[in-house]
Chain A
Amino acid sequence: MTATDDVIVPARGSRLIGAWWGPALGVSGLGLVTAVEMERTGAGRETFFNIGQPWAVYVFFSALVGLMIYGFGRHLTLWMIGRPTPGLREQIAHRLRNAVRLGLAQEKIRRDRYAGIMHWCIFSSIVVLTFVTAQVAIDDDLSLHFLRGPYYLFFSFYGDLFGLVGLVGVAMALYRRYFDDFHRIRWDERVEDHLIIWGLGLVLKTGFILEALRIAADELGPHPDWAVWSFVSFGLAHLIMLFRLSTEQLLAVHQWAWWTHLVVAFSWLGLIVFTKLDHIFFAPVNAFLLRTDSPGRLSKIENIEEREVFGVGQIQDFTWKQLFELDACVRCGRCTAVCPANIAGQPLSPMQVIQDLKAHLADVGPAIQRAGNAGHDVRAVSPLAMVGDVIKDEALWACRSCGACMQECPVLIEHVPTIIDMRRYLVMDEARIPATAQAALESLESRGHPWRGTALTRTTWMDGLGDVPIFDGSQEYLYWVGCSGSLVERNLPITQSVFRLLREAGTSFGVLGQEETCNGDPARRLGNEYLYQILAQQLIETFKSKQVQRVITNCPHCFNTFKNEYPQFDGQFEVLHHTEFLARALKEGALVPKHRIDSTVTYHDSCYLGRLNGQYDAPRQILEFLPGATVTEMARSGSRGLCCGAGGGNMWLEEVGERRLNHVRAEEAVGTGAQSVVSNCPFCIQMFEDGIPAVQPQEEGRMRAFDVAELLDQAVLGTGRTP
């Protein structure tokens, strides 16, 4: 399984499709077999029974089609003000698969089980009932008259079945919207949300009433054995019979009901053009447009030195795909519900960012488009600064780039690249940047590392380790220590542990020592793409001149940069995070744990190894090898893991808001009752070291934070740390 697959598609996805469609198809199939078994010659009905003006359907239908062409045409002209979207013609097969799996089969939606069932009910009901209606039209228009005999009975059966399924979905939606204490769908609640759900309920109910009236008037008497196939309306028809209406009266009411159903149904379909219902079309298309590379990769600004605008400061600076996906948003709030900044009460809601941009596009898009057509200056059109007025600086800085929003988004919106694009504008175009982040960037520029004020050197960690081999091209692996592994006091024991384990496993490796320089990740995450490109190109040169081919990293951020981002600059290296290497060494027997680690630990997934690169297993496998260690998982773990607080350059930013994120996460770790929290990332460890004392002020019995390697070092060599 590739990293991309894992991030976009939950592993159990395809099996679930079977599980859901299975019963529905099974029941229908049973219905078909029974229908054939019980064949009655001549079963069927007159299409447009009792309706004098069937042409009305076609008038409404034409109006709907016209409305859609107009509505989507308007959207289209707005998307087109965006810049070209690169790479869309690549990997078409993969994109089509995404459109089916994520768009039509809706794998993401099932990450919330209740919503998954609800949405499937509504979705399948609409699909099947549209098919039912289409058959009626074809049967009549083309005079095929295939709605006869057993198929007619089966048709009646599944029409009612899926009408009922739809009503179940609507009931679930109504319950969640009005009776459940469920917050995220009310964060940005609008009139249309009520209209859509009540409207759909009405369409389904009028459909049943209409059918029941026809059955009461025409079928119940002569063919009760046919009528029973429409099992819902059959029951309703009996209820109607209680009113003892004459056939004439029934026919009159039926006419009214038919018109009501027609008007309600087409009005509801018209909502597609004006409301979030447009996701019916936009979501599968957006799934097709979804990136096919790793979500851990940020876009490269090509020919950066020749550009006039570097980041995205105005709406037309986005690519049209980024504008398109604004329209796909259904305000479900899943992104914001999992956003670490939002969880800590900090000023970022990914959903609001998307919605604000969408509103801004509707506001200024048409004027920008006109100005563009007239050859005027499009940059002078908007009276508001998109970055600053519409989207606040602090929202952009609060993003951890952890990818939780993108992981959850059922319509496949990619929030992080959009946020980083605006950060790039803040930093490179406006130079509007918090002082602490500025200091980190300046340090990167002049010192090649972000750790301003460190008293350590890149070789301090080597003290007491004996002979540390320097990489010269003859070894198999480069062990990349990274700035955090060498210049931050807390992380030195981690680096030393990894080093001792590599040596113990008999690995052929060397380090760069004094020659290491930052690979640029913090610069890129903080929005300084220019500085990132300089640092990246320098390091790729160094790697190439030293004939580096395989790299083992301490830090998941370095790992992600080497693995996913350096190929953008023609730097192709095989990269392993130390947990991947060590897990393999354990399985192969190159490392043998001998010392007991009698402790309960909880494992924290770093976002850059876990969610963004799909590696959840290797660190957990190492923990299983530790004699005496028991692992308790936190509620948020794996692909639902919560950021420690440091991602996206927030290691160097002051937090704004109710709580500090590392306090929130430390609380969750402490809540497991484990004695230690174990992770795989120097940033995470630093955040826990800082966050745990805030949660547990008493030093006695306080939880401790370790890297997986530190515990493994203890288990194998007795030289690591004991929890």
Chain B
Amino acid sequence: MHLVVCAKQIPDPETPPAAFRIDAGTNAVVPAAGIKPVLSPFDAQAAEAALRIREQAGEGKITVISLGQGSAQDAIKQVLAMGADEGVLLNDDAFERGDSYTTAHVLAAAIRKLGDVDAVFCGRQAADWDMGQVGLGIAELLGWPCAIVAKDVQLADGAVTVQRVLTDGFETVRTPLPAVVTVSNELGDPRYPKLQQIMQAAKKTVTNWSAADLGLDASSVGAAGSRLRLVGLAQPEAGGAVEIIEGDTPEAQAQALVQALIDARII
């Protein structure tokens, strides 16, 4: 059994708002000084899902792949410390400033190159842009079935059974392998690595693949292959208004509050 986890390194979602800057000229986020990028939390959950499946099966190999620059090694090492076996970094200047499509394109090529993959696990979305497209894109490009926003994943008899989170509950779907699953935070907290594993992970070498290694044409990846055009990037104005709900008695106040919430389509 060979499982692949796709991991993305993103700017720390917990960057304080005061440290968050946008460069209007290049339409890009300026990395906050002194704040290190982190593994996208949903991707840590994707890794957790793969690790649980391997634990249950008692065998299997887990490869973690990441598209990014050299620093993304840290994200790979983190998943290796959690228990993944091998790491592949897809690193090429040509990959820069791509979109969800080119990312899926490169990742799908890497998965093809790995060959014998049974299932791919992605986070439900990267916690920086929150697009949620890459997992579906990989499945589409590979021609595999895909189940998104999973809270539980079971793998048995050549099929994967996924509990999917819906807005009003959850549904269980079953699909043959190979397949792509995107994992949601409802799966539960990712494990904390043992120190022994962290040290072993630190010693592992991460394989680097470029566009040429994957047999990809530079024009089909990164900014050149991008199909999405970023029109503008702006920081939303923070603010709010306070409305005092009037009423003679607490009951009347509560009733007025409920009505106001209904009117605002909140409940």
- Which residues on A are within 8 Å of B, measured CB to CB? 305, 308, 310, 427-431, 433, 435, 438, 441-443, 446-447, 452-457, 460, 514-515, 530
> In the assembly, what is the distance between CA of A441 and CA of B16, in Å?
18
> In the assembly, what is the distance between CA of A561 and CA of B35, in Å?
24
Question: Of B103-111, B186-194, B252-260, which binds chain A?
Answer: B186-194
Closest 3 CB pairs of A and B: A428-B195, A431-B194, A431-B192
Instruction: Give chain B residues whose Cβ lies under 8 Å from the Cβ of A310.
Output: 195-196
Give the distance to chain A from B243, nearest Cβ to Cβ, in Å.
23
Docked-complex contact A429 and B192, CB < 8 angstroms? no
Instruction: Give chain B residues whose Cβ lies under 8 Å from the Cβ of A305.
Output: 199
> In the assembly, what is the distance between CA of A570 and CA of B189, in Å?
38
| Interface of chain A: mostly helix, strand, loop or mixed | helix
Docked-complex contact A514 and B14, CB < 8 angstroms? no
B231 at the interface (CB under 8 A from A): no
> In the assembly, what is the distance between CA of A314 and CA of B178, in Å?
44
Docked-complex contact A428 and B33, CB < 8 angstroms? no
Residue of B nearest to A437 (CB): B192
Docked-complex contact A438 and B189, CB < 8 angstroms? yes
Give the distance to chain B from A350, nearest Cβ to Cβ, in Å.
26
Instruction: Give chain B residues whose Cβ lies under 8 Å from the Cβ of A454.
Output: 14, 16
Docked-complex contact A456 and B16, CB < 8 angstroms? yes
Docked-complex contact B16 and A455, CB < 8 angstroms? yes
Give the residue of A427, A441, A447, A514 whose beta carbon is less than 8 angstroms from that of B36.
Answer: A447
Instruction: Give chain B residues whose Cβ lies under 8 Å from the Cβ of A515.
Output: 34
B contact residues, total (Cβ < 8 Å): 21
Instruction: Give chain A residues whose Cβ lies under 8 Å from the Cβ of B12.
Output: 446-447
Give the residue of B18, B189, B191, B194 whose beta carbon is less than 8 angstroms from that of A428.
Answer: B194
Supply 22 A–B pairs (Cβ within 8 Å), ascending by A. Answer: A305-B199, A310-B196, A428-B194, A429-B195, A429-B196, A431-B191, A431-B192, A431-B193, A435-B189, A438-B192, A441-B192, A442-B192, A447-B12, A447-B36, A452-B14, A454-B14, A454-B16, A455-B16, A455-B18, A456-B18, A515-B34, A530-B198
Docked-complex contact B36 and A446, CB < 8 angstroms? yes
Instruction: Give chain B residues whose Cβ lies under 8 Å from the Cβ of A441.
Output: 192
Give the distance to chain A from B151, nearest Cβ to Cβ, in Å.
17
B17 at the interface (CB under 8 A from A): yes
Give the distance to chain B from A597, nearest Cβ to Cβ, in Å.
34
Residue of A nearest to B197 (CB): A431
Give the distance to chain A from B19, nearest Cβ to Cβ, in Å.
6
Instruction: Give chain B residues whose Cβ lies under 8 Å from the Cβ of A427.
Output: 192
Docked-complex contact A457 and B195, CB < 8 angstroms? no
Docked-complex contact A433 and B192, CB < 8 angstroms? yes
B159 at the interface (CB under 8 A from A): no
Instruction: Give chain B residues whose Cβ lies under 8 Å from the Cβ of A447.
Output: 12, 14, 35-36
Instruction: Give chain B residues whose Cβ lies under 8 Å from the Cβ of A429.
Output: 194-196
Instruction: Give chain A residues whose Cβ lies under 8 Å from the Cβ of B191.
Output: 431
B53 at the interface (CB under 8 A from A): no
Q: Which of B9-27 contact A (CB under 8 A)?
A: 12, 14, 16-19
Q: Mark B61-92, 1 if CB is under 8 A from A, else 0.
A: 00000000000000000000000000000000
Residue of B nearest to A531 (CB): B195
> In the assembly, what is the distance between CA of A435 and CA of B191, in Å?
9
Q: A429-B194, A452-B14 are in contact. Are A446 and B38 (CB under 8 A)?
A: yes
Q: What 18 additional pairs, Cβ within 8 angstroms, besides A305-B199, A310-B195, A428-B194?
A: A428-B195, A429-B195, A429-B196, A435-B189, A438-B189, A438-B192, A446-B12, A446-B36, A447-B14, A447-B35, A453-B14, A454-B14, A455-B17, A455-B18, A460-B18, A514-B33, A514-B34, A530-B198
Give the distance to chain A from B109, nearest Cβ to Cβ, in Å.
30
Docked-complex contact B18 and A457, CB < 8 angstroms? yes
Residue of B nearest to A308 (CB): B196
Instruction: Give chain A residues whose Cβ lies under 8 Å from the Cβ of B192.
Output: 427, 431, 433, 438, 441-442
Docked-complex contact A457 and B189, CB < 8 angstroms? no
Give the distance to chain B from A532, nearest Cβ to Cβ, in Å.
12
> In the assembly, what is the distance between CA of A430 and CA of B33, in Å?
34
Give the distance to chain A from B127, nearest Cβ to Cβ, in Å.
13
Q: Mark B34-76, 1 if CB is under 8 A from A, else 0.
A: 1110100000000000000000000000000000000000000
Instruction: Give chain B residues whose Cβ lies under 8 Å from the Cβ of A457.
Output: 16, 18-19
Instruction: Give chain B residues whose Cβ lies under 8 Å from the Cβ of A446.
Output: 12, 36, 38
> In the assembly, what is the distance between CA of A452 and CA of B35, in Å?
13
> In the assembly, what is the distance between CA of A452 and CA of B15, in Å?
10
Q: Mark B193-232, 1 if CB is under 8 A from A, else 0.
A: 1111111000000000000000000000000000000000
Docked-complex contact B199 and A430, CB < 8 angstroms? no
Instruction: Give chain A residues whose Cβ lies under 8 Å from the Cβ of B36.
Output: 446-447
Instruction: Give chain A residues whose Cβ lies under 8 Å from the Cβ of B193.
Output: 431
Instruction: Give chain A residues whose Cβ lies under 8 Å from the Cβ of B198.
Output: 530
> In the assembly, what is the distance between CA of A457 and CA of B21, in Å?
14
> In the assembly, what is the distance between CA of A441 and CA of B35, in Å?
16
> In the assembly, what is the distance between CA of A305 and CA of B194, in Å?
13
> In the assembly, what is the distance between CA of A456 and CA of B14, in Å?
10
Instruction: Give chain B residues whose Cβ lies under 8 Å from the Cβ of A460.
Output: 18
> In the assembly, what is the distance between CA of A460 and CA of B14, in Å?
16
> In the assembly, what is the distance between CA of A255 and CA of B159, in Å?
92
Residue of B nearest to A304 (CB): B195
Docked-complex contact A530 and B18, CB < 8 angstroms? no
> In the assembly, what is the distance between CA of A452 and CA of B189, in Å?
15
Q: Which of B143-201 contact A (CB under 8 A)?
A: 189, 191-199
Docked-complex contact B17 and A430, CB < 8 angstroms? no
> In the assembly, what is the distance between CA of A459 and CA of B115, in Å?
51
> In the assembly, what is the distance between CA of A307 and CA of B193, in Å?
16
Give the distance to chain A from B59, nearest Cβ to Cβ, in Å.
22
Docked-complex contact B38 and A530, CB < 8 angstroms? no
Instruction: Give chain B residues whose Cβ lies under 8 Å from the Cβ of A455.
Output: 16-18
Give the distance to chain B from A303, nearest Cβ to Cβ, in Å.
12
Residue of A nearest to B34 (CB): A514
Instruction: Give chain B residues whose Cβ lies under 8 Å from the Cβ of A514.
Output: 33-34
Instruction: Give chain A residues whose Cβ lies under 8 Å from the Cβ of B17.
Output: 455
Residue of A nearest to B81 (CB): A431
> In the assembly, what is the distance between CA of A308 and CA of B195, in Å?
10
Instruction: Give chain B residues whose Cβ lies under 8 Å from the Cβ of A443.
Output: 14
Chain A CB within 10 A, most for which of B18, B38, B191, B192:
B192
Instruction: Give chain A residues whose Cβ lies under 8 Å from the Cβ of B14.
Output: 443, 447, 452-454
Give the distance to chain B from A491, nearest Cβ to Cβ, in Å.
16
> In the assembly, what is the distance between CA of A433 and CA of B33, in Å?
31
Give the distance to chain B from A217, nearest Cβ to Cβ, in Å.
76
Chain B CB within 10 A, most for which of A427, A429, A430, A431:
A431
> In the assembly, what is the distance between CA of A52 and CA of B33, in Å?
94
> In the assembly, what is the distance between CA of A455 and CA of B16, in Å?
4
